[in-house]
Amino acid sequence: MRAQAAELHERSAAQDLWENPDQAQSLMQELAVLQGEVDAWDQLIRQTDELNELYELASSEQDEAMLADLEPETEAVAAKLAEMRLRTLMSGPHDSADAIMTIYSGAGGTESQDWASILMRMYLRWAERRGFTTEILEETEGDQAGIKEVTFEIRGKNVYGNLRSERGVHRLVRISPFDNAKRRHTSFALVEVIPDVTDEVTVELNMDDVRVDVFHASGHGGQNVQKNSTAVRLTHLPTGIVVSCQNERSQLQNRERAMAVLKARLYSLGLARQEEEQAKLRGEFITPGWGNQIRSYVLQPYRMVKDLRSDYETGNTTAVLDGDLDEIISSYLQYMVGKN
């Protein structure tokens, strides 16, 4: 990163740099990001050196009070190191992008619809913990509780790089709160994660292939919150991809947002097909489907969350469902580095 930053510094000093403003702005943004990373590592090195010096001093003088004071500082530096190490595992072309997540409830009616709403809360809490911004684009409520389907965006640094670990089927085992006999139920939900790349790539879209429907935006309980038909549904006829947006105030805004999501999904679909072809050539391809779950959340008869790819597991199910996902995400990224 130091070498790359030095090269960009040299290029930024060129007299003809701003003859192409777009290219110059892109270079300066890249330089700012790189320099920020270098500065963060330099700060961490300084903090570690200072802690080492203080530890050696406290140890030589057997100063138990100073040693105790160093513990929280050491833990803070360790946490920062873990966060920065996680960033080094993100090497995908769109890992720095925002993410668009869609959660679909599986078969099982109210049980799975409630599970889908629990997952949505888990990801929104994860985003809140990190200071990211979120926006629900479309939500279809369940028949009695929960949600049938929801699409939302999470914006922040390296959001997609983190959340690509969540793509796939999530399985929940628990005593059903909707079963008077208090029997154990298994529920499934499918999580889709795509990068929001509308500002990074150009996706050619033939509008003759897109059917546009408008309808009333609805709120909780199915009550219309707008008398005019402001919500927009786009159907891409060749692929069958359907995107809806009803969060914005005007039909034009909803259409623009839905179009951006549709382009992102088409781009992601193209990448997925390329990955499938490469996996087939390697003999590793597995058809994605309900049988191929990525993670199990067991609340009864014991408590455990286990990622079936990285083999990471924890008994602290409450923390995980409250958005504490960093260790699970880290284990997946390290698994992918080892796999590749």
Spell out the long-range contacts of 8-15 with Cβ–Cβ below 8 A and sequence spacing 24 or more.
8/34
Question: What pLDDT is attached to residue 279?
Answer: 57
Whether the pLDDT of residue 115 is over 90: the answer is yes
**Consecutive H or E run containing 204:** none
Q: How far is CA 76 from the centre of its chain?
A: 24
Whether the pLDDT of residue 232 is over 60: the answer is yes
Whole-number percent of the chain with pLDDT over 70: 89
Confidence of residue 289 (pLDDT cuts 50, 70, 90): very low
Render pLDDT for 201-221 as a digit per residue (tens, 0 to 9): 677 788 889 999 988 776 543
Render pLDDT for 30-42 as a digit per residue (tens, 0 to 9): 899 889 889 999 9
Q: Report the pLDDT averaged over residues 145-166.
A: 93
For the chain, the residue count is 340
Q: What is the phi/psi pair of residue 130, to 5°? A: -95, 0
Q: Compute the distance between CA of residue 319 and CA of residue 172 in angstroms, rounded to an integer.
A: 15
Render pLDDT for 318-338 as a digit per residue (tens, 0 to 9): 999 999 999 999 899 988 877
Question: What pLDDT is attached to residue 287?
Answer: 44
Question: What pLDDT is attached to residue 67?
Answer: 93
**Ranges in the chain annotated CATH 3.30.70.1660:** 99-201+286-339
Q: Compute the distance between CA of residue 132 and CA of residue 124 in angstroms, rounded to an integer.
A: 9
Q: What is the phi/psi pair of residue 320, to 5°? A: -60, -50
Q: How far is CA 138 from the centre of its chain?
A: 17
Q: How many CB atoms lie within 10 A of CB 87?
A: 16
Asked if 139 and 77 count as a contact pair (C-beta separation under 8 A), the reply is: no
More confident residue, 339 or 312: 312
Q: What angle do CA 265, 268, 271 make, to 5 degrees?
A: 155
Q: Six-digit token pair at 25?
A: 């702005």
Bridge-based pairing of strands 168-175 and 184-195 is: antiparallel
Question: What pLDDT is attached to residue 203?
Answer: 76
Asked if 231 and 245 count as a contact pair (C-beta separation under 8 A), the reply is: yes
Whether the pLDDT of residue 225 is over 70: the answer is no
Render pLDDT for 124-139 as a digit per residue (tens, 0 to 9): 999 999 999 999 988 9
What fold is seen in the domain 207-280?
Answer: Double Stranded RNA Binding Domain (3.30.160)
**Ranges in the chain annotated CATH 1.20.58.410:** 2-88
Domain at 99-201+286-339: CATH code: 3.30.70.1660
Confidence of residue 257 (pLDDT cuts 50, 70, 90): confident
Q: Compute the distance between CA of residue 151 and CA of residue 116 in angstroms, rounded to an integer.
A: 11
Angle 64-88/326-339 helices, nearest 10 degrees? 50
Q: How many CB atoms lie within 10 A of CB 214?
A: 15
CA-atom Rg of the chain in angstroms: 24
Q: Report the pLDDT averaged over residues 139-167.
A: 92
What fold is seen in the domain 2-88?
Answer: Methane Monooxygenase Hydroxylase; Chain G, domain 1 (1.20.58)
Bridge-based pairing of strands 168-175 and 293-298 is: parallel
Question: What pLDDT is attached to residue 199?
Answer: 64
Burial class (CB in 10 A: 0-12, 13-18, 19+), 98: buried
More confident residue, 121 or 157: 121
Whether the pLDDT of residue 302 is over 70: the answer is yes
Q: What's the mean per-residue pLDDT of the chain?
A: 86
